[in-house]
Amino acid sequence: MNTAISLENVTVAYRRHPALHHLSGSFKRASLTAVIGPNGAGKSSLLNAITGAVPLSDGRVSVAPDLQPSLAYLPQRTSIDRSFPIRVDELVQLGSWRKTGPFGRVSRAMRDAADHALAAVGLEGFGARLVGELSAGQFQRVLFARLLLQDAQLILLDEPFNAVDERTTADMLALVQRWHGEGRTVIAVLHDMAQVRAHFPEALLLAREQISWGPTAEVLDESHLAHARRLSMAWDEEAAFCVREAA
């Protein structure tokens, strides 16, 4: 079977306001897909629906049974509390959680694997530092190192290159390309259309509903992008109307 994730009429709502509705389609195995769209288009909601982090208002998400135990999710960096006093190597070692369990001990091999992962993302020797001491780009490299330890076949990335420097973005994009070359399924929420065009062969354009899904060159047709923008402006007008009514 060539399907990694199947979506059937997937609808997600918060306080009865739809964030994503009536989305159907599938992500193929070993595909590399960018999820794009205006702010508030339901991109993060889609990833949360796939992971099961949010309940569905309607529809169904089906992840291939052999991929369910091998799913890795990188949330937006702003949702992670960096004030917690944890060392860099300890955070990376959490990528071995499936092997150790909540109370298992980290083996010498796992510690070595964490060191190798840090070296692979350009942070050799950073293991003893606290995560709160890192720059935004360094912290994002640590999160990618943790993904390396997870060794997942299905990888979800929510705005992985947002507000990080160009060198970090280039290095992490190289990792994403490597994962794709290894036959892993990667889905990434992105905003930079130049990155999408250059590195992602498939794209899904959302505006709370599916606008277009398929080869990136076709999805990024100006007519599709214009449709998404019109819907986004309609949301803004609706929100402004609701504020006036409340006043």
Which H or E element spans position 213? strand 210-215
Q: Domain ends where: 103, 124, 152? A: 152
How many structural domains are present in the chain? 2
pLDDT of residue 233: 85
Q: What is the mean pLDDT of residues 68-77?
A: 89
The reply to whether 182 and 122 lie within a common domain is no
pLDDT of residue 48: 96
Q: Domain ends where: 104, 133, 152? A: 152
pLDDT of residue 238: 52
pLDDT at 207 over 80: yes
Q: Give buried/exposed letters for 44-53 (b at 16+ CB in 10 A, else e).
A: bbbbbbbeee
The reply to whether 87 and 197 lie within a common domain is no
Nearest to 22 by CA among 214, 156, 207: 207
Q: Tell me how many degrees the CA angle 118-180-64 measures, rounded to the nearest 5.
A: 105
CA-CA distances (angstroms) from residue 178 to 4, 92, 170, 173, 202? Answer: 18, 19, 12, 9, 16
The reply to whether 140 and 173 lie within a common domain is no
Nearest to 127 by CA among 143, 142, 105: 142
The reply to whether 245 and 158 lie within a common domain is yes
Q: What is the mean pLDDT of residues 29-33?
A: 98
The reply to whether 35 and 119 lie within a common domain is no
CA atoms of 148 and 136, how far apart (whole Å): 19
- Full residue range of the structural domain in which residue 93 is found: 80-152
Q: What is the CATH number of the domain that holds 238?
A: 3.40.50.300
Q: What is the mean pLDDT of residues 42-59?
A: 95
Give yes or no for a contact between 182 and 211, defined as CB atoms under 8 angstroms apart. Answer: no
pLDDT at 242 over 70: no
pLDDT of residue 45: 96
pLDDT of residue 240: 40
pLDDT of residue 82: 78
Share of the chain above pLDDT 70, in %: 91
74 part of a folded domain: no
119 part of a folded domain: yes
The reply to whether 112 and 158 lie within a common domain is no
234 part of a folded domain: yes
Lowest mean pLDDT segment, chosen from 6-20, 67-81, 109-123: 67-81
The reply to whether 130 and 91 lie within a common domain is yes
The DSSP code sequence of 66-132 is TTGGGEEEE--GGGS-TTS--BHHHHHHGGGHHHH-TTPPPPHHHHHHHHHHHHHTT-TT-TTSBGG
The reply to whether 199 and 129 lie within a common domain is no
Share of the chain above pLDDT 90, in %: 76
pLDDT, tens digit (0-9, with 9 covering 90-100), for 155-172: 999 999 988 899 999 999
pLDDT, tens digit (0-9, with 9 covering 90-100), for 88-144: 999 999 888 776 655 557 778 888 999 999 999 999 999 999 999 999 899 999 999
The reply to whether 247 and 157 lie within a common domain is yes
Lowest mean pLDDT segment, chosen from 40-44, 101-105, 230-234: 101-105
Prediction pTM value: 0.90
CA atoms of 200 and 214, how far apart (whole Å): 11
Dihedral-angle region of residue 42 (phi above 0 means left; psi in -120 to 50 means alpha; beta otherwise): left
75 part of a folded domain: no
pLDDT at 245 over 70: no
Angle, helices 108-120 vs 136-150, to 10°: value is: 130
Residues β-bridged to residue 12: 20
73 part of a folded domain: no
Q: Domain ends where: 117, 152, 187? A: 152
The reply to whether 148 and 159 lie within a common domain is no
The reply to whether 50 and 163 lie within a common domain is yes
The reply to whether 199 and 186 lie within a common domain is yes
